Amino acid sequence: HCEIQQQDPQTSSVIVKLEPDEDGDFAPAKKQSKGKKRARQGEAGELSKSKKVKLEEDADGVETETKPQKKKKIKKEEGNKKPKKEEGAIKAKKKTQEEKEAAAALKLKKKEEEEQMRWRWWEEEKYEDGIKWKFLEHEGPVFAPPYEPLPDSVKFYYDGKPLPLSLQAEEVASFFAKMLDHEYTTKEIFRNNYFMDWRKEMTLEERMVITDLAKCDFTEMFTYYKGKMEEKKNKSKEDKLKIKEENEKLLQEYGYCSMDHHRERIGNFKIEPPALFRGRGDHPKQGMLKKRILPEDIIINCSKDSKIPEPPPGHKWKEVRHDNTVTWLASWTENVQGSVKYIMLNANSKLKGEKDWEKYEVARKLKHHVVTIRKTYRENFKSKEMKVRQRAVALYFIDKLALRAGNEKEEGETADTVGCCSLRVEHIKLYPELDGDKYVVEFDFLGKDSIRYYNKFLWKSRSLKTSSCLWRTSRKEMIYLTGCLHLCLTSTCSH
């Protein structure tokens, strides 16, 4: 989770973007300026050494190299001499330097070996008919560790009295306790959603007693978990190395799969532990419980001729599939938003690489059509049909300001984020004149991941100034660029 500090449009200085002239390039390239040339090793790099060489001009104007004069060392008296470093310390220092060089050489060698072993899939023919692979084998996901109960010395208090909780209720209480110092726990919507889901995990007796979250005291639990975090931070070097080795062992066992008999890295082989849903921005479902994922929730995907991964003892998989038209290895449905989660391959894998390659190919094709597209939507500014003009304006904004297209979302299910085609009245302000500039459009809305977009845009297009107003308001005064764009850029209309 990341918090983004919003800027105040009244206090922050905002750059007003200008549209280039009609006959000029739409997006002029930046002026290329020659940067400072890097010093090559063995040439200019020598100048960075401790003994610097100064360049001076002789009488004929030719630069000559002169070495700085060394200061004469003055021998101090015997009594003022500093004690020399012990030979053992010097040897240890040299040894440390040698170890660093050896480690760097080993790292480089390992990288070269990995590069040689890399699957050069782009040199092979692509499968037809949507087939992604012909052989897939893996060990399945790694599940979150079980909940560790609180020690008897740590109490939960309700209405000032200690109250023992059942294991399930205590685990969900621990999620809230760990977040006591976070702003989320002060939000009403977060607290209400949490308390509603927490009560579902309580026993009947606990629900009869615990009826008000304000009377719950998680202080001792918070202090306990805070101490555990500090212990983890202050672990000895040996303990940290041991944990690192264990994680590496887990990675080697579960973090790789065999795809078409090539070893491929898995991106997320660990199942998320249970926690409280946070979401981005003011998400309406923040505070709800993300339940523990069990093997019975998991669908495994592998090839028929592979070894099917074994579920943990006492459990079984929800389903085992052999679908070679999809790229995921395992999937499950999370309970908060009902979305399907996947275990996929690493970003450096063949499947991810092919996806990126396809995107770049689309960009390459667009290069040959972008001039025609821009010419078309500029001509459509003057169209007699409202929908055509609206589409032209939407394309113009997406192209000129690099706005995301936006899509319709179910109200109350996600954060109130918008894109170009779902902007509402409150997101746009139109000024016939502002700070000496004519026809200024001000954008202020939350985009993807609830990141604020604020921009003032100067509209110079004559065709849009002279075109009729694109006013159309829905019942809720929600104005969409694709269906009912609200823009007025003439001197006779204002917002």
Which fold does the domain 157-233 belong to in CATH? Arc Repressor Mutant, subunit A (1.10.10)
The token duo for 114 is 């990995």
- AA identity, residue 219: T
How far is residue 324's CA from residue 135's CA, in Å, rounded to a whole number? 8
Residue with tokens 């070893």: 263
Note the pLDDT tens digit of each residue in 387-442. Answer: 888 888 888 888 888 888 887 776 666 778 888 888 888 888 878 878 888 878 88
- 38-47, 287-296, 327-336, range with the lowest pLDDT: 38-47
Torsion sign over Cα 333, 338, 344, 350: positive
Is pLDDT above 60 for 244?
yes
pLDDT band at 302 (very low <50, low <70, confident <90, very high): very high
pTM of the model: 0.61
pLDDT tens, residue by residue, 217-235: 999 999 999 999 999 999 9
Query: Per-residue confidence at 358, pLDDT binned at 50, 70, 90?
Result: confident
State how far the Cα of 45 lies from the Cα of 36, in Å rounded to an integer.
14
**How far apart are alpha carbons 400 and 405 in whole angstroms?**
12
What's the mean per-residue pLDDT of the chain? 77
Tokens representing 88 are: 């053992």
Length reported for the chain: 495
In the prediction, which pLDDT does 269 show?
94
CA quadruple 59, 60, 63, 65: dihedral positive or negative? negative
pLDDT value of residue 10: 44
Query: How confident is the model over 121-139, as pLDDT tens digits?
Result: 666 777 777 888 999 999 9
- pLDDT at residue 208, rounded to an integer: 95
Q: Where are the domains of the chain?
A: 157-233, 252-345, 369-466
pLDDT tops 70 at residue 356: yes
Of these ranges, 328-337, 378-387, 466-475, the one predicted with the greatest mean pLDDT is: 328-337
Average pLDDT over residues 269-279: 94
pLDDT on residue 303: 94
Matching fold, domains 157-233 and 252-345: no
> What residue type is assigned to position 50 of the chain?
S
Please indicate whether residue 78 or residue 395 has the higher confidence score (pLDDT): 395
Statement: residue 238 has pLDDT above 80? yes
CATH architecture designation of domain 369-466: Alpha-Beta Complex (3.90)
Q: CA-based Rg of the chain, rounded to a whole angstrom?
A: 32
**Given this model, what pLDDT does residue 30 score?**
43
Neighbours of 144 (CB within 10 A): 15
pLDDT exceeding 90 applies to what percent of the chain? 41
Three-state secondary structure string covering the chain: CCCCCCCCCCCCCCCEEECCCCCCCCCCCCCCCCCCCCCCCCCHHHHHCCCCCEEEECCCCCEEEECCCCCCCCCCCHHHCCCCCCHHHHHHHHHHHHHHHHHHHHHHHHHHHHHHHCCCHHHCCCCCCCCCCCCEECCCCECCCCCCCCCCCCCCEECCEECCCCHHHHHHHHHHHCCCCCHHHHCHHHHHHHHHHHHHHCCHHHHHHCCCHHHEECHHHHHHHHHHHHHHHCCCHHHHHHHHHHHHHHHHHHCEEEECCEEEEECCCECCCCEECCCCCCCCCCCCEECCCCHHHCEEECCCCCCCCCCCCCCCCCEEECCCCCCCCEEEECCCCCCEEEECECCCCHHHHHHHHHHHHHHHHHHCCHHHHHHHHHHHCCCCCHHHHHHHHHHHHHHHHCCCCCCCCCCCCCCCCCCHHHCCHHHEEEEEEECCEEEEEEEEEECHHHCEEEEEEECCCHHHHHCCCECCCCCCCCCCCCCCCCECCCCCCCC
Query: In the prediction, which pLDDT does 88 show?
Result: 54
CA distance 298 to 320: 9
Angle at 120 between CA 118 and CA 123, to 5 degrees: 170
Asked if the model's pLDDT at residue 343 lies above 80, the reply is: yes
* Residue listed under structure tokens 């709800």: 288
pLDDT tens string 52-64: 434 444 434 444 4
Question: What confidence score (pLDDT) does residue 51 get?
Answer: 39
Confidence band for 13, pLDDT divided at 50, 70 and 90: very low
* pLDDT at site 479: 38
151-160, 332-341, 447-456: least confidently modelled range: 447-456
Pick from 37-46, 152-161, 250-259, 379-388: least confident: 37-46
CATH 2.170.11.10 correct for 252-345? yes
Average pLDDT over residues 298-304: 96
**pLDDT at residue 116 in the model:** 63
